[in-house]
């Protein structure tokens, strides 16, 4: 039986135009849900047989055939038929072609509405841990680099102006903290979606004696959805996942912006591997950070996927509407992009060389130790606002004399405040400025070492299934 006849038989006397069929078909998008659809179908049929809704013998034949279809899809012996309307229809038609009328009992007590809600949850339940694993890989890469650069000085910036000295390790650990929260957000999204919608039917459940809890247990869910309308009518679990992915891309894009800046001659903090750089079609000297730029650019596509699904859902009445078919392309595209970007960024940053000499030299300009001078005066009893003014005046003097604070004669410093003594010069060294910032979360090497250890412990526990 052809697709057109199959889909439109019964209620309709006319068959649809071929353009109409092509327009509403989703098989080329949802085909990646094939194994999830089979897993859900097997659990459903096992429950139907156990509850006596269908004969156990038919149930056993269906389960055996579904397993064979799964195996054939995995081996490549069976290809998804692009003329099917969607993945559900393809599998059910293939099942019926193999075992005859018994296959028609598969859809008992089920609608494609609760079926697709189930398939998407199963897909995300296995996809999210894979994405989380890639986040952990990147965190491990960053902490490995940080462990080698606990004493590597570099300027910290605000407004892209040199602000205070920090270390490369401290900076990379800031990246890792953002990624940790990304990992946690994805885990939160996964935990909230871990309820089975199967048995909700089209919108109002079923009059058949289905055991929803059994199918939920078989599929590893924490329970069942509480309302059949809600179960088939919302895609907040997709939106929440997309939101978490958009934030992950925000962070990757910011990291890439710094990589692009740091790789310029003006900064010269990082030298990307030639494996992760490209040349120019006209300028033979160029070494472009194209992979960082592409990650930065693809962030817009993930944002677009989030906005697209929010827009699809914002005006829909309960329950299911066909608009919701448009959710999968956005979801799949975002998952694919984030997966690729995490892989590429980890390889790119892990193979880069760090120009510690350029970073250290950059700490000598921009008066990054001015705050330390003000705090030096505070420790000698001067109110901070007054100390801030004294330090600002010294900075103005340095600008006039075209020298850093540490090169001013002690007499000039004491003219600004008699509280300043000769020991101030040691306090103004970039190394001293960093070491003095020994509060929890600060850049002092001791604190950074603690932070790296904590991040490594988080990564190890995450690998073992903890958090």
> What domains can be seen in the chain, in order of their start residue?
3-108 (1.10.275.10), 113-362 (1.20.200.10)
**What are the angstrom distances between the C-alpha of 277 and each of 253, 290, 349, 431?**
17, 6, 12, 33
Instruction: Indicate if 159 belongs to the active site.
Output: yes
The confidence score (pLDDT) of residue 2 equals 41
Distance, in Å, from the CA atom of 74 to the CA atom of 78, rounded to the nearest integer, reads 8
Residues facing 353 on adjacent strands: 271
What are the phi and psi torsion angles at 154 (to 5°)? Answer: -155, 160
Q: What is the pTM of this model?
A: 0.94
- Catalytic hit among 75, 159, 207, 281: 159
Q: With H, G, I as helix, E, B as strand and everything else as coil, classify residue 39.
A: helix
Tens of pLDDT, residue by residue over 47-74, are 999 999 999 999 999 999 999 999 999 9
Q: Is 350 exposed, middle or buried (0-12, 13-18, 19+ CB in 10 A)?
A: middle
Q: Tell me if residue 263 is catalytic.
A: no
When computed from its CA atoms, the radius of gyration of the chain, rounded to whole angstroms, is 30
Candidates 191, 280, 351, 467; catalytic one:
280
- Give dist(CA 48, CA 41) in Å, integer: 10
Residue 369 · residue 430 · CB < 8 Å: yes
How confident is the model over 67-111, as pLDDT tens digits?
999 999 999 999 999 999 999 999 999 999 999 999 999 999 999
Q: How many CB atoms lie within 10 A of CB 359?
A: 24
pLDDT of residue 22: 80
Query: Could you list the mean pLDDT of each consecutive 10-residue stretch along the chain, which spans 467 residues?
Result: 47 71 88 98 98 97 98 98 94 97 97 98 98 98 98 97 97 98 98 98 98 98 98 98 98 98 97 91 89 98 98 97 96 98 98 97 93 97 97 97 96 97 97 97 97 98 84
Element (H, E) at 446: helix 445-463
Type and span of the H or E element at 395: helix 384-401
User: Parallel, antiparallel, or unpaired: how do β-strands 270-271 and 161-167 relate?
Assistant: unpaired
For residue 155, what are the β-bridge partners? Answer: 165
| Span between the terminal Cα atoms of the chain, in Å | 51
Phi then psi for residue 449, to 5 deg, are -60, -40
d(CA 179, CA 252): 9
- Residue 183 to residue 29: CA distance in whole angstroms: 26
Q: How far is CA 384 from CA 387, 389, 409, in A?
A: 5, 9, 23
Mean pLDDT computed over every residue of the chain: 95
pLDDT in tens, 301-342: 999 999 999 999 999 999 999 999 999 999 999 999 999 999
DSSP label of 278: B
- The pLDDT of residue 12 is 62
pLDDT of residue 20: 80
Q: What pLDDT does 9 receive? A: 56
């Amino acid at each position: 039986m052809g697709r057109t006849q199959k889909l439109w038989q019964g209620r309709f006397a006319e068959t649809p135009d071929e353009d109409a069929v092509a327009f509403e078909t989703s098989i080329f998008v949802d085909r990646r849900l094939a194994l999830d659809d089979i897993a859900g179908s097997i659990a459903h049929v096992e429950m139907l047989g156990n509850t006596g809704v269908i004969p156990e013998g038919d149930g056993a034949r269906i389960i055996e055939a579904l397993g064979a279809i799964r195996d054939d899809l995995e081996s490549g012996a069976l290809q998804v038929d692009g003329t099917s309307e969607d993945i559900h229809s393809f599998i059910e038609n293939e099942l019926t072609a193999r075992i005859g009328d018994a296959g028609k009992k598969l859809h008992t007590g089920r609608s494609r509405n609760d079926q697709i809600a189930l398939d998407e949850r199963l897909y995300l339940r296995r996809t999210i841990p894979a994405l989380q694993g890639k986040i952990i890989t990147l965190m491990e890469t960053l902490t490995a680099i940080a462990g080698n650069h606990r004493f590597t000085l570099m300027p910290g910036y605000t407004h892209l102006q040199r602000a205070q000295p920090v270390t490369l390790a401290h900076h990379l650990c800031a990246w890792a903290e953002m990624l940790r929260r990304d990992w946690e957000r994805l885990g939160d999204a996964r935990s909230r979606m871990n309820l089975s919608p199967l048995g909700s039917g089209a919108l109002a459940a079923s009059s058949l004696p289905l055991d929803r809890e059994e199918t939920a247990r078989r599929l590893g869910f924490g329970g069942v959805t509480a309302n059949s309308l809600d179960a088939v009518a919302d895609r907040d679990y997709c939106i929440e996942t997309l939101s978490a992915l958009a934030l992950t891309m925000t962070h990757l894009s910011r990291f890439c912006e710094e990589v692009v800046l740091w790789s310029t001659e003006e900064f010269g903090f990082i030298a990307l591997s030639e494996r992760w750089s490209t040349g120019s079609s006209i300028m033979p000297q160029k070494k472009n950070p194209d992979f960082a730029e592409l990650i930065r650019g693809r962030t817009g596509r993930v944002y677009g996927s989030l906005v697209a699904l929010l827009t699809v859902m914002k005006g829909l009445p309960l329950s299911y509407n066909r608009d919701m078919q448009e959710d999968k392309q956005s979801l799949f595209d975002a998952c694919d992009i984030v997966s690729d970007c995490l892989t590429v960024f980890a390889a790119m940053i892990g193979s880069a060389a760090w120009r510690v000499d350029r970073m250290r030299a950059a700490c000598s300009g921009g008066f990054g130790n001015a705050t330390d001078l003000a705090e030096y005066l505070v420790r000698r009893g001067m109110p901070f606002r007054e100390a801030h003014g004294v330090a600002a005046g010294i900075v103005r003097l340095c600008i006039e004399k075209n020298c850093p604070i540490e090169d001013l004669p002690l007499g000039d410093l004491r003219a600004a405040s008699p509280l300043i003594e000769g020991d101030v010069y040691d306090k103004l060294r970039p190394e001293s400025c960093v070491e003095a910032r020994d509060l929890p979360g600060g850049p002092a090497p001791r604190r950074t070492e603690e932070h790296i250890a904590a991040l490594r412990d988080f990564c190890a526990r995450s690998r073992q299934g903890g958090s």
